Amino acid sequence: MLASEVRSRSDVKTWLLEELELSPKFEPKNVTINGDSAVWKVMYGFRRGFHSHEVFYNTETNQYAFNVSEDADNADFPNFGTYDSYDEMIDGVTDRFASLWKV
């Protein structure tokens, strides 16, 4: 599904899951954000236009984070929130996109 075809929250979730399913899986690498001592591993992501969309996992807290940035600029990390589970992350990110896209 293309982002331009999204008409409902359900469509947003379908779009997000399809993008993540098709995205390249990265060899997990440690990422330190803004000098924070927490270690996040970038797991996978996709790029649309000028923006990278990435899923991060924290091995210490077992939390997931979703971040959208230009050129991997993580100044506001995580700008789409941190979540206690992958499913909560999908629902939270879906809600955020649905709100931004006014669907």
pTM for the predicted model, two decimal places: 0.83
> Looking at residue 102, what is its pLDDT?
92
Which structure tokens are listed for 92?
Answer: 């939270």
Q: What is the pLDDT of residues 78-100, one digit of tens each?
A: 888 899 999 999 999 999 999 99
Q: What is the pLDDT of residues 43-89, one digit of tens each?
A: 888 887 788 888 988 888 899 999 888 866 666 778 888 999 999 99
State the virtual CA torsion across 16, 89, 21, 75 in degrees, nearest 10.
80
Q: What is the pLDDT of residues 3-20, one digit of tens each?
A: 889 999 999 999 999 998
Q: Name the residue ranges covered by the structural domains of the chain.
A: 3-100
* Residue whose structure tokens are 């210490």: 60
Helices (H), the chain: 9-22, 86-100
